[in-house]
Amino acid sequence: MARLYDSRKRILVTGGAGFIGSHLIDRLLEQGHEVLCVDNLFTGTKRNLDHLHNHARFELMRHDVTFPLYVEVDEIYNLACPASPVHYQHDPVQTTKTSVHGAINILGLAKRLKAKVFQASTSEVYGDPSVHPQPEDYWGNVNPVGPRSCYDEGKRCAETLFFDYHRQHGLEIKVARIFNTYGPRMHHADGRVVSNFIVQALQGDPITIYGDGSQTRSFCYVDDLVEGFIRLMETGPETTGPINLGNPGEFTMLELAEKILSMTGSRSKLEFLELPQDDPKQRQPDITRAKEALGWEPKVQLEEGLRQTIDYFKHRLPELTAA
């Protein structure tokens, strides 16, 4: 049984040593909860949690969610999975196992504990969308056998498992579909466009743009995203999701590159490369459901969020690249 003896909860965050997970943990600790972070440190890093080393309400457990987990907690946030193409294509079989076997293990744990459980899904379930912007009732346009399928289809299958556990076992679930997110603690070599452009600009390397730079993305600052997580988790059992969480402000890759060059004062040149297979041409969330169900929408403007992220990389890049 989940423990109900006071307002302080013991909360499990899988993938908590990652970029988004570490920010979520900070927020949960600020709220006064105990947090158990579970991570196999494949893409996450203890560096993201260094500031919590002596925190009395924080615990780190090194564990792979593809194996069963036996702990006692009140709520679960399941964020475990490599989330950038560079990382999830490195070992695609393990990526699929993390999404699918990981979901089965976490759902089994939640069922035993009768605990509310949150699934960090992704806008990649929409694939290369033929509907724009993407609402939650759009089923997507996903290649099931391409190089990105390990992540796209793994996350789609995880959503299926969450809703089947909800229907079959009455489990209280929350499913969020995360759109492009950025901010401090991004991995410097994860291949994502914001970290790529910033690192390249700061180092004076060419800014690598895939295709002609006309493809679009919508960028949500990590603090806004975490606020959406918390609000979704605090809703009643009738709100399951899926709910899009992202910033509907849409920018081309060329616009983003030029903004980062301007903000860093870099003299880096633009270098255009071939567009990767199945790379989405457009990505923009319809957040109507998040506004109505959660009273949530992003607050941080792109320029302010980029300033915070650039400052992080300016201070940490020598340490990160030397590690």
203-to-120, 188, 252 alpha-carbon distances in Å: 33, 12, 23
Res. 278 pLDDT band, cuts 50 70 90: low
What value, to the nearest 5°, has the Cα angle with vertex 105 and ends 246 and 100?
Answer: 55
At residue 6, the pLDDT reads 59
At residue 200, the pLDDT reads 96
| Contact indicator for 109, 65 with CB cutoff of 8 Å | no
Backbone angles phi, psi at 178, to 5 degrees: -90, 130
Is residue 6 packed enough to be buried (19+ CB in 10 Å), middle (13-18) or exposed (0-12)? exposed
At residue 139, the pLDDT reads 96
Say whether the peptide bond before residue 206 is cis (omega within 30 degrees of 0): no
Residue 129 located in a structural domain = yes
Res. 188 pLDDT band, cuts 50 70 90: confident
Q: Cβ atoms within 10 A of the Cβ of 42, count?
A: 19
C-alpha–C-alpha distance, residues 150 and 141, integer Å: 15
**Is 70 a known active-site residue?**
no
Residue 59 located in a structural domain = yes
pLDDT digits (tens, 9 = 90+) for 7-26: 899 999 999 999 999 999 99
DSSP annotation of 285 reads B
Residue 208 located in a structural domain = no
Residue 318 located in a structural domain = no
C-alpha–C-alpha distance, residues 154 and 292, integer Å: 28
Residue 73 located in a structural domain = yes
Res. 323 pLDDT band, cuts 50 70 90: low
Could you say which of 88, 126, 151, 312 is catalytic? 151
Per the structure, the complete domain to which residue 152 belongs is given by: 10-179+221-247+284-299
C-alpha–C-alpha distance, residues 36 and 13, integer Å: 6
At residue 2, the pLDDT reads 46
pLDDT digits (tens, 9 = 90+) for 193-240: 999 999 999 999 999 998 899 988 899 999 999 999 999 999 999 999
C-alpha–C-alpha distance, residues 207 and 77, integer Å: 35
| Domain count across the chain | 1
At residue 5, the pLDDT reads 46
Residue 29 predicted with pLDDT over 70: yes
Residue 142 predicted with pLDDT over 90: yes
Average pLDDT of the chain, as a whole number: 93
Backbone angles phi, psi at 49, to 5 degrees: -115, 5
Residue 259 located in a structural domain = no
> What is the pairing mode between strands 75-78 and 173-178?
unpaired
| Contact indicator for 309, 184 with CB cutoff of 8 Å | yes
Residue 189 located in a structural domain = no
Residue 291 located in a structural domain = yes
Q: Identify the CATH number of the domain in which residue 166 sits.
A: 3.40.50.720
At residue 111, the pLDDT reads 98
Tell me the mean pLDDT in the region 66-93: 89
**Helix/strand/coil for 39:** strand
